[in-house]
Amino acid sequence: MTEERRIKIAALLQESEEAVTGSSLAKRFEVSRQVIVQDIAVLRASGLQIVSTSNGYLIPKPRRGVHIRTLQSVHSGLAALEEELSIIVEYGGRIIDVMVEHPVYGEIVVALMINSRSDLEDFIKKVKASDAMPLASLTDGKHYHTIEVPNSGVYDIIESKLRERGFIHL
């Protein structure tokens, strides 16, 4: 049953366009959430590219006609975080991840997968509810976002708006 469940989890994640929570997988397969965490670890070890996001697990799908770019940004505080991410989403960007260069641990990358204003609102609610510090607090506010944009013109607008608001200093 364990291997069969893992095959079904893999198929479900490959078919899904949205992140699937560990809790919903646990309920569907009538196991604990911890069993799902273990199943995901085994599936990853077998080579499946499963990403953990604040909204659940997903397998990123290749998208045609998009550009992937990386922005370096600096800010501190939740209000600045929300404003920065809002600019990216508002002007047509999709926020794939956030990365910091930690002096001891090296690169720390966390998948965000923020595709819309609704995703952003959910993310900000989770940050506020958890009372956790943003990842950039580990590096005095300096961090990077990988974003997906439909074309270089959209990227230029996002970069310009972030520069105007003081998030980009280069």
Residue 33 has a pLDDT of 92
Write out the H or E segment, with its range, that includes residue 100.
strand 94-102
Identify the residue with better confidence: 17 or 142. 142
pLDDT tens digits, 19-37: 899 999 999 999 999 999 9
The number of beta carbons lying within 10 Å of the beta carbon of residue 98 is 21
- Give the residue-averaged pLDDT of 2-30: 92
Identify the residue with better confidence: 134 or 83. 83
Q: How far is Cα 143 from Cα 99, in angstroms, rounded to an integer?
A: 6
The number of beta carbons lying within 10 Å of the beta carbon of residue 127 is 16
Binding residues for Ni(2+), as ranges, are 75, 84, 143, 145
pLDDT tens digits, 80-131: 999 999 999 999 999 999 999 998 888 888 889 898 999 999 999 999 999 8
Q: How far is Cα 155 from Cα 92, in angstroms, rounded to an integer?
A: 8
* Confidence bin at 170 (pLDDT 50/70/90): low
Q: How far is Cα 86 from Cα 152, in angstroms, rounded to an integer?
A: 19
pTM score, whole prediction: 0.74
Q: How far is Cα 160 from Cα 56, in angstroms, rounded to an integer?
A: 32
Binding residues, as ranges, are 75, 84, 143, 145
Q: Which domains does the chain have, with CATH numbers?
A: 2-58 (1.10.10.10), 67-164 (3.30.1340.20)
* Confidence bin at 141 (pLDDT 50/70/90): very high
pLDDT tens digits, 61-92: 767 778 889 999 999 888 999 999 999 999 99
Q: Is the pLDDT of residue 134 over 90?
A: no
Partner residues linked to 20 by β-bridges:
57
